[in-house]
Chains A and B, each alone.
Chain A
Amino acid sequence: MMDTQWETYEVFHQSKRGEAHVHVGSVHAPDPEMALQLARDQFARRLKCVSLWVVRTKDITATDYQNESFFAQVTDKSYRDPKAFEAPDKNSPHES
């Protein structure tokens, strides 16, 4: 029996203020503080990083890949897309 099977923590990396935290991988750690230290060594030893989050892997609730119907779109939802509208661009408030 060994003593190395720590829990895993999922690591989220923010490269710059204003950007989203992005999932980059996971680390094994005995507690959240060590997880942050190890995440820094593993995922922030080169590129710029301003913030890291770690979350216990087992605390994540996720959808099931097998259950594709979870994301099935029962009706046509194209009206949610800006491309679905044909109003002339010149009337758009975003045009200069």
Chain B
Amino acid sequence: MHEKTYEQRLADFEARVARGEKVEPGDWMPDEYRKNLIRMIGQHAHSEIVGQLPEGKWIPYAPGFRRKLTLIAKVQDEAGHGQLLYTAAETLGKSREEMMEELLAGKAKYANVFNYPTPTWADVGVIGWLVDTSAVINQTMLAQGSYGPYARAMKRICYEESFHIKQGYDAIVALANGTPEQRQMAQDAINRWWYPTLMMSGPPDSLSAHTQQSMRWRIKTKSNEQVRQEFVDHIVPQIRALGLDVPDKDCYHDEKTGHYHYTQPDWEELKRVVNGGGPCNAERLAARRKAHEEGRWVREALAAKRTQNPASG
């Protein structure tokens, strides 16, 4: 049997993807597909890991025991999602250790939103409600993607994220129905998070380096603009139903398109924040490095146990 040419392999691969079949780790795939997925899944994993920090800070101060337990569970989920995603990326040939090293060295990118501060309890609620709604819309789309291990991880993650949204929404509903000060606190947090959350779906399609190729190979099945519009259409009526405001004077339902019109965020800000220049990038990395160092004795103890008792490992 003679070897297939690159063109034949590529045609087979694209036909499989076009049929809606999943690609699995042992399959032949174009280098660009592999690289693009490693980049995306790695960034996604880092986002989950760093995403523990802005909310984790509030665990000691959560109002009430039930909300404290809920927040601990949410942060634990994020650690779990990070691990699921690292193992998915590893199936493409990059080790978790390499990815962790890049994160700790400040060379890896992750979601813009986790580089903003969480000065009040309402920020925790708004992250769950707004940021996680945006994340679920994106991840439901990614669960339809062509790479099997990533799609499988997305299904599990989306299920858990729906709990994250609910708990965040519940926290904001409590504030919205509370004292004038509490309502204001909820409104201020929405004002802080509105534009960063819009940016989270990525740059507009005209500025996005990867969208076209990613859609052709079904790494993504919707463009950044589509995901962002879905988020806006979903969240604006929810915010207004609580008697709170969308911090955009030019946000209205456009009868012609059937969608909400909204003001574009500052795309230069997105670039700056993703490339390390956001308000909390340095703080987040310092916290990750500290956690890594403080966990070293645990890793050493486990390694020592394995040497002592090689039969078990």
A and B bound? yes
Interface residues of A (CB under 8 A from B): 2-5, 8, 24-28, 30-34, 41-42, 45-46, 62, 64-66
Contact B87–A30 (Cβ < 8 Å): no
- Give the contact-size bracket for chain B: 20 to 34
Task: Name the distance in Å between B70's Cβ and chain A's nearest Cβ.
Answer: 13
CA distance A44 to B309 in the complex (A): 27
Contact B303–A45 (Cβ < 8 Å): no
CA distance A65 to B302 in the complex (A): 36
Interface residues of B (CB under 8 A from A): 24, 26-28, 76, 80, 83-84, 86-87, 90, 95-97, 100-101, 152-153, 156, 160, 296, 299-300, 302-303, 305-306, 309, 312-313
With A3-B296, A28-B96, A45-B80: A65-B87 Cβ-Cβ less than 8 Å: no
Apart from A2-B97, A33-B313, A66-B27: 19 A-B pairs, beta carbons within 8 A: A2-B101, A3-B299, A3-B300, A4-B96, A5-B95, A5-B96, A5-B97, A24-B156, A25-B153, A27-B87, A28-B86, A28-B96, A30-B299, A30-B303, A30-B306, A31-B302, A31-B306, A32-B312, A45-B76
A-B contact pairs, 28 of them (CB 8 A): A2-B100, A3-B299, A3-B300, A5-B95, A8-B90, A25-B84, A25-B153, A25-B156, A27-B83, A27-B87, A28-B87, A30-B302, A30-B303, A30-B305, A30-B306, A31-B306, A31-B312, A31-B313, A32-B312, A33-B312, A41-B76, A41-B80, A45-B80, A46-B160, A62-B26, A64-B26, A65-B26, A66-B28
Q: Which residues of B contact A33 (CB under 8 A)?
A: 312-313
Minimum-distance CB pairs A-B, first 7: A31-B313, A5-B97, A65-B26, A30-B302, A26-B87, A3-B299, A31-B312
Q: Which residues of B contact A30 (CB under 8 A)?
A: 299, 302-303, 305-306, 313
Q: Which residues of A contact B80 (CB under 8 A)?
A: 41-42, 45
Q: Which residues of A contact B305 (CB under 8 A)?
A: 30-31
Contact A42–B84 (Cβ < 8 Å): yes
Q: For residue B159, which residue of chain A has the nearest CB?
A: A46
Task: Name the distance in Å between A57's Cβ and chain B's nearest Cβ.
Answer: 9
Q: For residue B26, which residue of chain A has the nearest CB?
A: A65
CA distance A25 to B148 in the complex (A): 12
Q: For residue B153, which residue of chain A has the nearest CB?
A: A25
Q: Which residues of A contact B95 (CB under 8 A)?
A: 5
Q: For residue A62, which residue of chain B has the nearest CB?
A: B26
Q: Which residues of A contact B302 (CB under 8 A)?
A: 30-31, 34
CA distance A25 to B155 in the complex (A): 12
Task: Name the distance in Å between A94's Cβ and chain B's nearest Cβ.
Answer: 36
Q: Which residues of B contact A31 (CB under 8 A)?
A: 302, 305-306, 309, 312-313
Contact A4–B27 (Cβ < 8 Å): no
Which residue of B27, B83, B296 is within 8 Å of A42 (Cβ)? B83
Indicate the member of A34, A41, A42 with the most B CB atoms within 10 Å: A42
Indicate the member of A24, A25, A64 with the most B CB atoms within 10 Å: A25
Q: For residue B90, which residue of chain A has the nearest CB?
A: A8
